[in-house]
Amino acid sequence: MGRDPNQLSAAAGAPLRGRLKPPGDKSISHRALILGLLSVGETAIEGLLEGDDILHTAGACRALGATVARQGEGRWRVKGCGIGSLLEPRETLDFGNSGTGMRLMMGVVGGHALTARFDGDASLRKRPMRRILDPLILMGAEALSEAAGGCCPVTLKGSGEPAPIHYSPPVASAQIKSAVLLAGLNSPGRTIVTETEASRDHTEKMLKHFGAAIEVEPQGAHGRKIMLEGRPDLRPAPVIVPADPSSAAFPLVAATIAPGSEIVIEAMMMNPLRTGLLTTLLEMGADVEVLDRRIEGGEEVGDLRVRAAALRGVDVPAARAPSMIDEYPILAVAAAFAFGETRMRGLGELRVKESDRLAAVVAGLRQAGVETDIIGDDLIVNGCGGQVEGGGLVTTHLDHRIAMSFLCLGLASRRPMSIDDASMIATSFPAFRTQMERLGARFS
Ligand SMILES: O=C(O)C1=C[C@@H](OP(=O)(O)O)[C@@H](O)[C@H](O)C1
Ligand SMILES: C=C(OP(=O)(O)O)C(=O)O
């Protein structure tokens, strides 16, 4: 019997060398399409991520009345209908694997007088949606049908006059914050979200860019209060999407652990609410220089020169989690190559991502011969000091980040590492294989 065509293996070989530009940021790409839908007129987007998650959001924007057209690689145009003038979708809105797409669009629909059914793939059907439905119900929306535990498929009936609320999300989550703000766009009053730990601020920044009246104040030690005036006239504004730090994380760690490597990662977004992995790797002794910091499309970006380095284990505080929430699987791979123990604290949210990432990381690392454990919500990795055994087949559970993380591990382990399914990588980083192979990675 032949090998499953979705399987992929990575083996150590030559060091990684060369330059790479990661794809456009996934979070900003979703928001650019959605704010394009909510503006009257044409929004031009450059550098849009053309991954499956974003294509699902583009489909939902079309179903709600926007004209969305691709004009060239990463160059897209959205002709929006404006707040209050969306169409009721005729078909179920299918978000595939994308939590962000579904949750942000639930915010949009929740704040409009229309009914839409939301669904996704087997991974998305397991993810909690009550955290989004709860504040939307407070604003006047109704969840007409729900699978057990508030998971999709969900039919949501929005309110044409959403109540202005003051909401404090129970977990640090840019998706909850964004859903409330997007619903609040059609509210006759002021919507306020207070977060005790600041999460990525792309929605706030982009709303301002499109002309909304939105203010942000610091709140406590790490939090923020965001205040949005409802019913703004959003004006289409050009969006240039910077390179995604969550995708850059893979070549960044691969070049750090593969001996002799030296690469440059071009124009990575340096928004401080997204750079927790870089901070942590530098604490571990990584050899990364940030060159040519500059502003592109309203975000600071920089080129990262990365050379292979010996790492040491560190203690990663829970307060850092929101700034690197999607990067823990690849950080755990870096920790496997370090000298000493790495403890990553406060990772309960990893259990409700595309897979239970705590369980998937522990299973994959053990498969590769690395001692690792979960204590409460903390992940502990006992580093092998540069020499990870590797070998075997890792189950990726429809999770792109688990897939890419264990392929990167295989680029530096003694024995090749295989994953059961590389197809989900297309959700966030469709050119991962070709771009990494150009640097010298060996996949088969
Ligand atoms: O708002 C966003 O674009 C995202 C927020 C994060 O999720 P949470 O809001 O659940 O933390 C992150 O994991 C996801 O990949 C993208
Ligand atoms: C958690 C992620 O995405 P989403 O929540 O959009 O599915 C991710 O990309 O790691």
- Dihedral over Cα of 16, 20, 23, 24: its sign: positive
Inter-CA distances, 273 with 117, 183, 407, 438, Å: 32, 23, 26, 30
Mean pLDDT of successive 10-residue segments in the chain (444 residues)?
89 96 98 98 98 98 98 98 98 98 98 98 96 97 82 96 98 97 98 97 97 97 96 96 98 98 98 98 98 93 98 98 98 98 98 98 98 98 97 97 98 98 98 98 98
ipTM over 0.90: yes
Q: Hey, whose CA ends up nearest to atom 10 of ligand 2?
A: 326
Does residue 96 line the site of ligand 2, with CB under 6 A?
no
Neighbouring C-beta atoms of residue 441, cutoff 10 Å: 26
Domain ranges of the chain: 8-24+242-443, 26-237
pLDDT at 149: 72
Distance 179 CA to ligand 1 centre (A): 11
Fold matches, 8-24+242-443 and 26-237: yes
Atom of ligand 1 nearest to the CA of 30: 3
Distance 175 CA to ligand 1 centre (A): 5
Examine residue 153 and say whether the peptide bond preceding it is cis (omega within 30 degrees of 0).
Answer: yes
For residue 433, say whether it is annotated as part of any ligand binding site: no
What's the rounded Cα separation, in Å, for the pair 377 and 225?
27
Per CATH, the number for 26-237 is 3.65.10.10
**Which pair of structure tokens corresponds to residue 439?**
């640097």
Q: Residue 76: name the closest of 49, 97, 100, 102 by CA.
A: 49
Active site members: 326
Distance 18 CA to ligand 1 centre (A): 30
pLDDT at 1: 59
Q: Give 196-215 as a DSSP string.
A: SS----HHHHHHHHTT--EE
Q: Exposed, middle or buried, 17 (CB in 10 Å: 0-12/13-18/19+)?
A: middle
Q: Please tell me the number of the ligand nearest to residue 54's CA.
A: 2
What architecture (CATH level 2) is domain 8-24+242-443? Alpha-beta prism (3.65)
pLDDT at 9: 98
Does residue 353 line the site of ligand 2, with CB under 6 A?
yes
206-217: buried (b, 16+ CB within 10 Å) or exposed (e) per residue?
Answer: bbbbbebebebe
pLDDT at 98: 98
pTM of the model: 0.98
Does residue 99 line the site of ligand 2, with CB under 6 A?
yes
pLDDT at 297: 83
Distance 325 CA to ligand 2 centre (A): 9
Inter-CA distances, 119 with 129, 137, 407, Å: 11, 19, 30
For residue 377, say whether it is annotated as part of any ligand binding site: no
